[in-house]
Structure 1
Amino acid sequence: MDELRQIISAFQAEEVNLYGNLPQKIKRLISLAVVTALGTQNRIPEEVKRALRVGVTPEEIAEAIVQCTPYAGSARALEALDEAERTMSDQGIQLPLKSRETVTKDTRLKQGLAAQYALFGKENIDRNWQNAPPELRHIQEYLSAYCFGDFYTRSGLDLQTRELLTFCILCTLGGCEPQLKAHIGGNLQVGNDRQTLLSAVTWCIPYIGFPRTLNAISCINEVAGK
């Protein structure tokens, strides 16, 4: 076991960590999102401590985990958040943290649509709504109001960071390449260029392995060019 840990640690520290252009704070946020999406909640305490050491705020830690909810599911996000809060409390951080919600029941759909428009373009989102059959129109509404209205509008992380985390979450989950391609386009739209995406997926390799990494790179090449 110690030998395996040494191999993994050396690979991450001496190779993966040296590639690309990501700040350490972003790397640590990605790690939090990835271990949450994987459901490996036993890794959360150490990832929280590492994040705090490089200056990630408690609010940013919480939001990296919260961002996983509409993609990895509520159970994984809630379990990870519980672990993170226990660890932060052990580190002397005052809890509960201040609410970061910015929408109301009446505004969540409108603000969610605004976030979608910024990422994917108004014409594309309106087309999805128009082309949805009646029995599936609720899915478009849920996407706009819940996925984007309830989560992308929260304070604590900006839109660019949230979209990069979503890219990494989808890389981690695997099997959702159509959604991954859409969010690669969304990342490009908000300023996360090809090199940033390659840097992010490279950072994910020790967590998610090579098959999902190579699938993600294929998607990047298809959407962002080689």
Structure 2
Amino acid sequence: MDRVEKSKEKYKQLFGNGVPAAYATDPDFQDILSYFIFGEVFSQGNLDDKQCELITLVVLAANQTLPQLKAHVGAALNVGLTPVEIKEAVYQCAPYIGFPKTLNALNEVNDVFKEKNIALPIESQKTVTEDNRFEKGFAVQTEIFGDVIKRMQESAPANQKHIQEYLSAFCFGDFYTRGGLDLKTRELLTLCIVSALGGAEGQVKAHVQGNKNVGNDKETMIAAITHCLPYMGFPRTLNALACVNEIIPEK
């Protein structure tokens, strides 16, 4: 099957029988878009459709491309992702893109859920308490990155220790410990989010190592970054791939 036929089949699977509005005004551009994203990128690598749609959601949230995000919430449901998985993927963005942008993304998710009569709020995935969120977050953080976390906390200047504590309690305690998505998925999504931001190559490298530590191999990371390409462009994609190759050199 050539990429044109692949794109038509994949688009129908994701979005149904509708026709993109851009065909009325920019048909050549829409063909390029459709044939590349749905005819080539979607079939590249070892990811399934659910993983691809989770990655699409977080990159669109990071970029604040909200109309496309809304369309892909529907696509995510169409390929079998649950409301919990969709919500958790968007929640996972908050430590990296901030609360306002995450709330913008959640508004789009909630609009789709309401249209589809999905009851809100969905079931809570919280697993920590105020008393143990730091401890549980530190444990997950150490599982991902190793003993370097303890050294970072011990060596932080006194006026910056709170930032290290926030990382453990907030980023990893409040989010990574939640149900709905497993650790490997959360860490892969985080790699995609920080790659999409641009200018965060230090964090990209750290999360390449984190992905490796939790069991995501180089081919999975390359496939994930490849899937980000249509949504974040070549410069950020090439920067992310350079980080992968630096941490995990080609043999």
Using the size of structure 1 for normalisation, the TM-score is 0.98
One-letter amino acid of the structure 2 residue matched with residue 107 of structure 1: N
Aligned alpha-carbon RMSD (Å) = 0.8
Equivalent residue runs for 1:67-106 within 5 Å = 67-106=92-131
Runs of 4 or more consecutive aligned structure 1 residues displaced over 4 Å after TM superposition: none
SS at match of 1:209: helix
CA distance in 1, matches of 2:43, 2:88: 26
One-letter amino acid of the structure 2 residue matched with residue 76 of structure 1: K
Q: Which residue pairs with 1:175 in the alignment?
A: 199
Q: Which residue pairs with 1:223 in the alignment?
A: 247
Residues 55-110 of structure 1 deviation map (CA, whole Å, 9 limit, x = unaligned): 00000000110000000111111111111011011012122101111111111000
Q: Which residue pairs with 2:182 in the alignment?
A: 158
Residues 100-128 of structure 1 deviation map (CA, whole Å, 9 limit, x = unaligned): 1111111100000011011000x201110
Q: Does 1:135 align with 2:124?
A: no
Pairwise CA distance, 1:44: 2.0
- Structure number with the bigger relative contact order (C-alpha 8 A, sep ≥ 6) is 1
Q: How many residues align?
A: 225
One-letter amino acid of the structure 1 residue matched with residue 218 of structure 2: R
Pairwise CA distance, 1:197: 0.3
Q: Does 1:34 align with 2:97?
A: no
Deviates more, 1:86-95 or 1:31-40: 86-95
% identical aligned pairs: 50
Using the size of structure 2 for normalisation, the TM-score is 0.88
CA distance in 2, matches of 1:6, 1:19: 19
- Long gaps (5+) in structure 2: 1-25
Q: Which residue pairs with 1:56 in the alignment?
A: 81
| Rg comparison, structure with higher value | 2
CA distance in 2, matches of 1:17, 1:87: 23
Q: Does 1:146 align with 2:170?
A: yes
